[in-house]
Structure 1
């Protein structure tokens, strides 16, 4: 679908159907803040009982500004995000996320409601009643961890996720009457949490930078490559891609429409179910939009789309009925003219075909009418690569191949054109390098024609690439070494069912594979391909005790396989024993040094505060010396100031380096906990997360390693 589609919302038509009265966006606010505004740090809020809605923004100097008031809050830590919500009050409280804490501030009472430390910082908020909680929660997205606080500041929710949390929203994903938490991350994943248990993962093609609930069970997403789209459950309804980046997505003006605001200032209102543009506004010049929200700044009954630029310019748009009838005649003529042109081109091609003589047809070197193109996967075990092989019948040359696949190729497509055609050119081999364990559809277009022919025939086909295409089944085990890390769990299934899962999930040469459906013990060995080169995988199953074991060095990959097995066999609850010595030792080392890292952090913060105070004091003394004309003392104070400034800068650098190391360690620990949770399913998976958190808070290293290995 084209990004530039433009279809207005019809309201009234005249008798001939060519004139319409439409809804359009009209600018209603236009003013400047005279401050640079931080990206995604602007909201609207009612900050006092029966008060007027006001804009709240964060300036580049790290101050929280409230429009049309003298209120200015200065936060020592760098602010990353803000939000507002009534947490047990009849007006909104300002919620501030910084590099190390979350602050809830009551502007009306001029008090801090609560302030809680979050070691890895807050990147985004989601506020609402999650699942079966009774009150609204302030849910904070951090560095591989998600924190939730109730209106009193009590820590009531915590879970881990696979990567940094870029965006969050609450949406009734499964339409069961309870809100689920939707989380977007830079690793291209959209994760859905039911309370603190991850329900499913949706893989996209780039980093997720925006999420918004647009109807009761539909949510919109935005990617860093300019893509926006809408999901309903696990089904993606539509998506479009632009050269620009979506800054905000709003549920406006109704449940069946959504508004997207782009970084250039363009606003388009789209149908939620189809993505068709209902109306849009394009500024004459490109703007640097850093945020947008819905606000009622003048009329409490009329919502306006308020956008803010990085330079502090604010513009508001209201959706109103156009005063003049819009003549759609030129648009209709252009639309039908394009259709006529396409039909005339097709007619011309058929006429040329009929007028050609047999000699001319022979010269054109047409391909036989019964030509087909076959496709298959071939594993080159010497090079450890997965290849897509296309072969045309009747010795017809394959001149080019175009492959479309989400997330596999840069730009989602790959074009293969031979530099030199060997033999008949009827067989081509294209290497595939999957970077993730994700099932994917390859949409293939093969262009066939004789070597000297100017006309090509297009053959379209699709082929499914298995989820674990980075591994290939081995029939010859001479070069295979059994990995030491493994996971073991109970699974009562027939051999044939397990073979069915293997054949669906891996690249297997059925002719070479030797499967014995009556064997008491199954042993399947795989080699790693491309990005998994020099790795091995072993899957074992015993009918005697119904135990399955998966041996592989990568804990994340094994967890993905366990989740695939759980989904395939519809297992509701799964316990397991995990043995991954390297990851468990790493987790133990991180926990062991966390206490000292906290102490060092507090010490460096205190030293930095002390040095900053001395710098301020020295500046005041130097200025005083200048005022009383004591230039000699002023010179000494400025020399001392230079030394103190250097010391303060060094202290700030040490603190920043320590904080970066601390956050990196905490992120890695959260990842290990998530991988361990994915080795289980259902309640045992949820208990892993909660038990690990308790063990970390109690500094119980022995317990956390046992929990990671044996579960709860």
Structure 2
């Protein structure tokens, strides 16, 4: 019997008898099979023991050299290492306090080449100690005068970053490594700084003696985190501060408590809740498919002449005397309407030519008052409560969902936009701040707290971002209907993400990791959902259906042990079935068909990206020992039309090729699962492999050069060839050795050709200036933004020349001027004809009153003819308006492409000025501002 046929149980016994760590590491380095049997996370062990790894080594090999690889061995004084350095166990980052006010930031993975010096001399003359907190994203810097929080993501201190000024005999503790910082001291008391809220959340000075705190739970063997629930408990002569309740964990079930019907078919996203009567509580309001607004338990019906696309409620602040009703905000395919239900009047009515797809109410940027933010086609409008414009901006894609979130912690909300494109857009001051690439259109955005928001894609993917970092991402088979914060439990300030799916499925997940706590199924096609907050009672989740049915659920905290036992038994039954199937395979290998061919232990898989101008970008997968490949599953974002792409061979072969044609220039990782099996064998093996795809992976390097394209941009900034070479090697499929040899600034020039569009991209350095040449401005913009982000360029001047762009801009502006003139003329004619119809109707009614029946008949015939003409002219007008809207989309896309050639404030100012000129219909000045004629 070969060792490959030994059951894993026997190997586990062998491994348990290994007493020397070097033997365990050596066994783990034999193959992936033995690596899994060892059941050790060597990467985590290296981080816990601060063992560094060199480039090209495995973590198991690095840990096997623990005695000589410990990070403190490269520092002369061990006391200096213990007192001045810290290693993050989550990321492997190391912060080392050097002499005076400098901190060295590096990583135990030396292959990453991360070495950064942080200068704190502007804050203090001496850094005494450092702590790595918030999973390696922030640094706690101790000095003789204060304790400072430094953001390692943005490399800056944020607002409210100073925890406290230093006084005598202070002690600082980091609790749970990512939540709270506790400061105590004699005659000082206790101070708690929350890393989540980024402010001091608890302060109790005590001048009589030392205040003690209790944050360790002996039963759970871990520290507790601060949850706004500290109480004082006296113990003899000194107080002890401790948590009033344990950290809340969602247990229980969702029980149905509401079930009734409106009696009307409802529209999608047309459900909200508010208070419209002083004698009643919260009332559900919904929009019907027959263009009506209806209220729960009310006979009041408000008719709207257009299809309803969205309903929201504006909660007005209550006055000292008298009741103030909430306002109903209705979005339709052509307008925005605000109703005062209590007083039965329309507050204002705004025409919105593109129609409304989503509405959000809240504070945005520096605006102190609430703003009604409307997503209308490819534009976003900000409107105050008098119906006046606050701001207007446009995107290149249609808007699906919007929400407000202070994602950069500056005290002002940014606008998070989910669109039909592949990115989630973050806007600040109506300008694009950042694109978060997800690969599929985003249909739902929900703010979960400060700096945190959840998203849902039309492919069934949901996830959560916090400060540009994606916490988690889960793929499902269902279509998302809504994302909500539910339930909210007293004593726990942690928000839970409630996902309502279109098929009626509801689940509650942890915002931090996506763990599914609760789930239930309310069968039916969901049209909308809303959470009803109730004082001193459990929140209710109300779900509406297209057939008019309304069902509500709330959290049942009584844990059903019997139901839990059934789920546990089902889980163990499934495990038993899997183990029995595995046992059958072992028995068949030992006593079954000896002639059956297995897969040799030394079988390996190679994966190579091959880029040629003729064949394009190919992914070549090869398995050694002539083992046939049954199928390959590829998982990637933004490359395939779906998240998974499968390849099946018509004939058994150990080599498989597939063409990769990215939708756009984006860097991503391809996760491959290769299913292999020997000929005639019924057992298959799954091999996994990760392949990184550079941003410009479809551009083939032209060794002999190529004719220079006509369009170009000339960039002037502080240029460093080593950084430019590094950017080139990491963003293109090019030989690194060839790039490293390009050190001559006088002859630095590279040419590429896209293997699909056949367009040439040329990058050249001339007299210290960088020239990027391509015929399409959008490609040049992507290259420029990639370079400045990689090289961290802060200031740059640019000069561009793109004839095709300039020609398209001139034609578009000329056509828009004609369309505005035509629309004004059509609108004037339509208004004149409408007034003539009204006059004719009045004359016809007068004729009826005076018994002139014959005259009245002629006048009504004329009214019918005029009405048909008016309807036809209105259709022409609306077609012209739609054509103008399409031109506006194209123009905003040109503005965005032009702004990509600039950075920072220059780009923001360009966008702001162009939109002001566009709103003022000053097309002559707009054309000059967007000119790219090389001057």
Asked if the contact 2:357/2:375 (under 8 Å) is kept, the reply is yes
Match of 2:675 among 447, 453, 461: 447
Is 1:503 aligned to residue 737 of structure 2?
no
Match of 1:706 among 928, 932, 935: 928
Q: Taking structure 1 as reference, are residues 111 and 570 closer, same or farther at Cα in structure 2, changes over 3 Å only?
A: farther
1:277 corresponds in structure 2 to: 516
Asked if the contact 1:373/1:392 (under 8 Å) is kept, the reply is yes
CA distance in 1 between counterparts of 2:476 and 2:851 reads: 63
Structure 1, residues 511-545: CA drift from partner, whole Å, max 9, x if none? Answer: 67695212324211111123xx2212111223x33
1:200 corresponds in structure 2 to: 434
Structure 1, residues 426-482: CA drift from partner, whole Å, max 9, x if none? Answer: 4332211111111111111233444444444432211001111232221133xx332
Q: Taking structure 1 as reference, are residues 535 and 289 closer, same or farther at Cα in structure 2, changes over 3 Å only?
A: same
1:291 corresponds in structure 2 to: 528
Structure 1, residues 460-508: CA drift from partner, whole Å, max 9, x if none? Answer: 211001111232221133xx33222222222323212112111211222
Bigger shift: residues 669-678 or 114-123:
114-123
CA distance in 2 between counterparts of 1:623 and 1:26 reads: 58
Of the two structures, which has the highest relative contact order with CA contacts closer than 8 Å and spacing of 6 or more? Answer: 1
Match of 1:31 among 261, 267, 270: 261
2:790 corresponds in structure 1 to: 568
Is 1:537 aligned to residue 537 of structure 2?
no
CA distance in 2 between counterparts of 1:352 and 1:408 reads: 42
Structure 1, residues 251-299: CA drift from partner, whole Å, max 9, x if none? Answer: 111343122222222322222223333223323xx42322111236x98
Asked if the contact 1:85/1:94 (under 8 Å) is kept, the reply is yes
CA distance in 2 between counterparts of 1:672 and 1:120 reads: 20
Q: Trace 1:97-108 onto structure 2 (pairs within 5 A).
A: 97-99=331-333, 101-108=335-342
CA distance in 2 between counterparts of 1:446 and 1:258 reads: 35
SS at match of 2:416: strand
Bigger shift: residues 80-89 or 220-229:
80-89
SS at match of 2:758: coil
Bigger shift: residues 21-30 or 607-616:
607-616
CA distance in 2 between counterparts of 1:621 and 1:68 reads: 45
Asked if the contact 1:398/1:446 (under 8 Å) is kept, the reply is yes
CA distance in 2 between counterparts of 1:235 and 1:101 reads: 37
Asked if the contact 2:613/2:754 (under 8 Å) is kept, the reply is no
Q: Taking structure 1 as reference, are residues 265 and 470 closer, same or farther at Cα in structure 2, changes over 3 Å only?
A: same
Structure 1, residues 380-406: CA drift from partner, whole Å, max 9, x if none? Answer: 2124x1001223334444443222222
1:331 corresponds in structure 2 to: 567
SS at match of 2:745: coil
2:553 corresponds in structure 1 to: 317
Q: Trace 1:552-701 onto structure 2 (pairs within 5 A).
A: 552-605=774-827, 646-701=868-923
Match of 2:596 among 364, 379, 383: 364
CA distance in 2 between counterparts of 1:72 and 1:614 reads: 33
1:139 corresponds in structure 2 to: 373
Bigger shift: residues 298-307 or 399-408:
298-307
Asked if the contact 1:144/1:670 (under 8 Å) is kept, the reply is no
Larger radius of gyration: 2
Is 1:417 aligned to residue 643 of structure 2?
no
CA distance in 2 between counterparts of 1:95 and 1:73 reads: 12
State the shift of 1:612 in Å: 7.6
SS at match of 1:669: helix
Asked if the contact 1:473/1:509 (under 8 Å) is kept, the reply is no
State the shift of 1:618 in Å: 9.8
SS at match of 2:397: strand
CA distance in 2 between counterparts of 1:672 and 1:685 reads: 13
Is 1:341 aligned to residue 577 of structure 2?
yes
Q: What TM-score results when the alignment is normalised by the length of structure 2?
A: 0.65
2:285 corresponds in structure 1 to: 56
CA distance in 2 between counterparts of 1:199 and 1:484 reads: 30
CA distance in 2 between counterparts of 1:299 and 1:612 reads: 53
Q: Taking structure 1 as reference, are residues 274 and 516 closer, same or farther at Cα in structure 2, changes over 3 Å only?
A: closer
State the shift of 1:623 in Å: 13
State the shift of 1:107 in Å: 4.1
Structure 1, residues 533-581: CA drift from partner, whole Å, max 9, x if none? Answer: 2212111223x33x22222222222222222222212234544333333
Asked if the contact 1:588/1:701 (under 8 Å) is kept, the reply is no
SS at match of 1:349: helix
CA distance in 2 between counterparts of 1:47 and 1:590 reads: 48
2:660 corresponds in structure 1 to: 432
Is 1:129 aligned to residue 363 of structure 2?
yes
1:527 corresponds in structure 2 to: 753
CA distance in 2 between counterparts of 1:519 and 1:26 reads: 72
Asked if the contact 2:362/2:371 (under 8 Å) is kept, the reply is yes
Q: Taking structure 1 as reference, are residues 317 and 458 closer, same or farther at Cα in structure 2, changes over 3 Å only?
A: closer
Is 1:473 aligned to residue 695 of structure 2?
no
CA distance in 1 between counterparts of 2:386 and 2:795 reads: 34
Match of 1:373 among 605, 612, 625: 605
State the shift of 1:610 in Å: 7.2
1:393 corresponds in structure 2 to: 624
State the shift of 1:169 in Å: 0.8
SS at match of 1:503: helix
CA distance in 1 between counterparts of 2:675 and 2:328 reads: 59
Asked if the contact 2:729/2:735 (under 8 Å) is kept, the reply is no
SS at match of 1:525: strand
2:396 corresponds in structure 1 to: 162
CA distance in 1 between counterparts of 2:339 and 2:742 reads: 67
CA distance in 2 between counterparts of 1:513 and 1:341 reads: 55
1:10 corresponds in structure 2 to: none
1:266 corresponds in structure 2 to: 505
Q: What TM-score results when the alignment is normalised by the length of structure 1?
A: 0.84
